[in-house]
Amino acid sequence: MVALLSAFGLVLAVELPDKTLVATLVLTTRFRGWPVFAGVCVAFAVQCVIAVAFGSVLTLLPDVVLSLVVAAMFGIGSFMLLREGFSKADEAGEDASRTGPSALSFTRSAMTSFGVLFAAEWGDASQLATASLAARIGNPFAVGIGAFSALVVVAGLAVFIGAKLRSRIRPKLIQRCAGFGFAGFAAFALLQLAF
């Protein structure tokens, strides 16, 4: 249960201010909500399986090497989050078409959403966090379920209350906090080498 809750909390914190939330918001303005939600969830499921599999392979490494790899992955995630959190880019992001959801078929809307989110998740901080937790905790199933659940929650928020959520959350602040959290996890993994 600790593995599931750890993965859920970490991935939720990382994904709330992330580009995947914004991408889902934009997709929802162009397509109906349910096809977007379905496509995004399938993309997240595939990416979680990939991340957990990578993390499980890492457990075969010697402890010293594993700690270095986990520290490096969290370090990369920290760098990515802090770079985005301290960038001068517009926090509101670009608005998509304001003409309302498109009447495209469910399948086409879902496939477009899948493609956009599947591509966006490669090398994403949540994918690195999931792989790191799977390697460190050694319970890939619970980590995968926790990470996937957090991603589904984020997708649901984006699809169902996206416009209100975007106006109330300060993505830069959350990215900074998550970045410093990742830096702490990287430091902790390195400290484990000393003990």
pLDDT confidence of residue 91: 46
Please give the backbone phi and psi of residue 108, each rounded to the nearest 5 degrees, phi first. Answer: -65, -40
**How far is it, in rounded angstroms, from Cα 70 to Cα 128?**
9
Mean of pLDDT values over 189-193 = 80
Mean of pLDDT values over 103-129 = 80
Amino acid present at 192: Q
Least confident range of 19-33, 35-49, 98-112, 114-128: 98-112
Mean residue pLDDT of the chain comes to: 77
Which residue stretches of 86-170 are H helix? 106-121, 125-137, 140-168
More reliable by pLDDT, 180 or 161: 180
Mean of pLDDT values over 57-66 = 76
Rg of the chain on CA atoms, in Å: 17
What percentage of the chain has pLDDT greater than the value 90?
Answer: 11
| Residue pair 131/73 in contact by the 8 Å Cβ criterion | yes
Each domain of the chain, given as residue ranges in start order, spans: 1-86+103-170
pLDDT confidence of residue 97: 38
Q: What is the pLDDT of residues 138-164, one digit of tens each?
A: 788 898 999 999 999 988 888 875 545
- Dihedral sign (CA 123, 5, 133, 48): negative
**How far is it, in rounded angstroms, from Cα 108 to Cα 93?**
25
| Residue pair 32/166 in contact by the 8 Å Cβ criterion | no
E strand residue ranges, 35-129: none
Q: Examine the pLDDT at 90 and tell me if it is beyond 60.
A: no
Phi-psi region at 93: left, alpha or beta (left = phi > 0; alpha = psi -120 to 50): left
pLDDT confidence of residue 161: 58
